[in-house]
Structure 1
Amino acid sequence: MPLHDTDIAIVGAGILGLSHAYAAARRGLKVSVFERSATPLGASVRNFGQALVTGQPPGPMFALARDSRALWSAWAEAAGFHIRRNGSLLLARTRAEEELLEAFCEVRAPEHGYRVELLRGDALHDLYRGQFSHHRAALLGLDDQQVYSREAIPALVDYLRREHGVQFHFSTLVRDIEPRLIHSTAGRCRAEQIVLCSGHDYQTLLAEQIAALHPQVCRLQMLRVRPERDFGLDQAVLTGLSCVHYGAFSDLPEAEAIREQIREQQPELEEHGIHLLVSPTPRGELIIGDSHHYGADASPFNAEAVDEILLGLAEQTLGTRLAVVERWQGVYGARGPGPFSVLKAAPGVTAVLMHSGVGMSIGPALGERTVAGLLG
């Protein structure tokens, strides 16, 4: 039984799929989105909701994150979901971390246009009534934003359906893709363009073409916690550990001293790929993580020792005890030929895959760029 024909058919209702749907629909095209589950359940709702501009490396990723910032703001207002627009705090715990932030602010930030402030002394002590005074400095990333993903993504689905006429087919598995034809459990759908945004599923569709990219998956452990003393945290928090993870900082010469400290003092952080992130939720709780384990498949087993490391880091950073409310596992596509791939698989068939965990940061603008390219 055929479904209604459409201009663009999108497989996957995560942030990449929704970004492409918006980019096509706002250009007046008829859009259909197919998702195998009853609601988005993948990486796009299991993350921190951080749309980071500051952490992106100079060049295309930084440009995509800056362009995505405006889209997130517009979507939050139109779709009615919660967004924080007051930036992020990257806390320096050691002199090595402070020196890296100094170098970043003196050279890279002005050269490439990162909007940041380095807070020390009274400015640091004034943050949250002295809650972070035990740190040496804080880098305020002025352009960074944060949403509560498990509410923002469904709200974006509803907005696209209601205001842009996007047709969603949930609980519908796409079994096969041909040029301009989708075969699904709900029937066939003809489309001038088909865009596959399948996350870390490398086997169901276009398996041979995707295999040529040699992608892996990354598995991470995450927790939702309630602080013993609520001091009203209203910004995303990172530490100097993130400086060896995010491309804005990791290639600076000063990053090597941080790596050496980790190897000498806390080798378990490198073993498990741990760098602390904290995101406040609209309900006064905090999302904390995360670890990074890479491979062809994601092990279903979480290690309690890793959660204990994350909790210890978070309690030391935030200066308060934390009670665990919820634990889960995130999985996303990783380690392809670059941070993302736009693969022309066949005439009228394009696969867009993330190979890093920054889909929320660059996804909106990547959708705009890809759709613009498809339309010539």
Structure 2
Amino acid sequence: MGHICTTPQTGRALDYAWSAREKWLRLAEQAGFEISRADTVVVARTAAELGVLEEFAAERGTGEVRLLDRAGTARLFPPAGDPGSDILGGAHLALDLRVDPRAAIPALAARPASRGVEFVWNTQVGAVSEGAVHTARGDLAATAIVHAAGHDIDRLFPVIAEEHGVRRCRLQMMEVAPPGDIRIEPAILTGYSMLRYGGLGATASAAVVRREITDRAPETLDAVMNLMLTSAPTVRWSSATPITTPAPICPSTKKTSRIWCCAKAPGSSRPVSCRCGGGGAGSTRIRRRPISSWPRPQPVSASSR
């Protein structure tokens, strides 16, 4: 996805997010990879979801959050203007960024490598002890060790993970061809995102959004589901759930599989036909040929999140 989701955070996470945003901008210039100021649009399909965005905008101000009516949302997210769309409006988060991870990561590694830093790729770390990193290729001795693989903290340092209530998450993604000639520039967040990110979830209206989803599709809340997309230029759908929760049940097939309940395996000649979310809150129907679909590790999250 490469979505640098800054604005929806809150508290200490927001402090870290602002710092990370400045670092990404600096690193893009230094390492020579492209960083997009494509922003984020949060779409609202119910009055309660609009209420979340109105409260959030009132707290943050127009420098960070700009409210959109349906026409304004459609200018940034064309499907919102379709005759059958149930999108009522949205919010534009102008300070969010996006990178292409497949271009950014090699570029970030190339710069220090040119200065003599040695990278050991495709190597599993099994344990870290005083003065040594124990890997599948043998032990690496070091006077200082920095652990920066966030999603493995529960396996390398389980006591720390338990003390802080850290849970491993599952991020599933699907890449599909865009419908027609539609170009979607910003990242798109849905009603589920209003419950996932602290800045949106802290609003009074978020409790109403949760009740709406509970009445409509409680299984998606059980899966702690988030649903978003980016386009670059193919459309990449993403949904993250804690890895300890069961896979959601497709309402049409009654089977547990991917979040995209009817998506075929990569390489299938059949189109994707799927509804995510059971209506409202992020409900989206896809009928496009899948390009690829794959799970991705997701940094762990605290249980209080």
Q: TM-score range by the shorter chain?
A: 0.7 to 0.9
Aligned partners of 1:227 and 1:321 also within 8 Å: no
Aligned to 1:197: 148
Matching residue within 248, 269, 287 for 2:236:
287
Aligned to 2:221: 270
1:176–1:241 Cα change, 3 Å: closer
Q: Give the SS at the match of 1:332.
A: strand
For residue 116 of structure 1, what is the amino acid of its counterpart?
V
- C-alpha distance after superposition, 1:144-173 (max 9, x if no partner): 0111223322221122312x5422122444
Q: Residue 189 of structure 1: CA displacement?
A: 4.5
- Distance of 1:123 and 1:242 partners within structure 2: 20
Please tell me whether residue 324 in structure 1 is matched to residue 267 in structure 2.
Answer: no
Matching residue within 97, 114, 123 for 2:72:
123
Task: Show the 5 A alignment for 1:342-357.
Answer: none
Q: Give the SS at the match of 2:174.
A: strand
Q: Residue 237 of structure 1: CA displacement?
A: 0.7
1:155–1:317 Cα change, 3 Å: farther
Q: Give the SS at the match of 1:233.
A: coil
Q: Residue 193 of structure 1: CA displacement?
A: 1.9
For structure 2, which runs of at least 5 residues remain unmatched after alignment?
248-254, 264-273
Indicate the RMSD between aligned Cα atoms, in angstroms.
3.2
Please tell me whether residue 251 in structure 1 is matched to residue 198 in structure 2.
Answer: no
Matching residue within 9, 17, 39 for 1:65:
17
For residue 80 of structure 2, what is the amino acid of its counterpart?
F
Q: Residue 191 of structure 1: CA displacement?
A: 3.4
1:101–1:151 Cα change, 3 Å: same
Aligned partners of 2:8 and 2:200 also within 8 Å: yes
Please tell me whether residue 166 in structure 1 is matched to residue 114 in structure 2.
Answer: no
Aligned partners of 2:259 and 2:276 also within 8 Å: no
1:71–1:290 Cα change, 3 Å: same
1:226–1:83 Cα change, 3 Å: same
For residue 259 of structure 1, what is the amino acid of its counterpart?
R
- Distance of 1:63 and 1:240 partners within structure 2: 24
Q: Give the SS at the match of 1:243.
A: helix
If the length of structure 2 is used for normalisation, what is the TM-score?
Answer: 0.78
Task: Show the 5 A alignment for 1:1-376.
Answer: 48-57=1-10, 59-106=11-58, 108-110=59-61, 115-120=64-69, 122-127=71-76, 130-133=78-81, 134=85, 135-162=87-114, 164-174=115-125, 176-184=127-135, 189-202=140-153, 205-281=156-232, 284-295=233-244, 303-304=256-257, 306-308=259-261, 311-313=274-276, 321-336=287-302
* Percent identity of paired positions between Structure 1 and Structure 2: 26
For residue 88 of structure 1, what is the amino acid of its counterpart?
T
- C-alpha distance after superposition, 1:330-364 (max 9, x if no partner): 2334344777xxxxxxxxxxxxxxxxxxxxxxxxx
For residue 68 of structure 1, what is the amino acid of its counterpart?
A
For structure 1, which runs of at least 5 residues remain unmatched after alignment?
1-47, 340-376
> Which of 1 and 2 has higher RCO (CA within 8 Å, sep 6+)?
1
Q: Give the SS at the match of 1:169.
A: coil
Aligned partners of 1:220 and 1:331 also within 8 Å: yes
Q: Residue 240 of structure 1: CA displacement?
A: 2.3
Q: Residue 213 of structure 1: CA displacement?
A: 4.1
1:174–1:98 Cα change, 3 Å: closer
- Distance of 2:54 and 2:117 partners within structure 1: 47
Q: Residue 54 of structure 1: CA displacement?
A: 1.3
Aligned partners of 1:132 and 1:318 also within 8 Å: no
Aligned partners of 2:187 and 2:230 also within 8 Å: yes
Q: Residue 319 of structure 1: CA displacement?
A: 8.1
If the length of structure 1 is used for normalisation, what is the TM-score?
Answer: 0.65
Aligned partners of 2:133 and 2:139 also within 8 Å: yes
Aligned partners of 2:192 and 2:226 also within 8 Å: yes
Aligned partners of 1:90 and 1:139 also within 8 Å: yes
Aligned partners of 2:45 and 2:88 also within 8 Å: yes
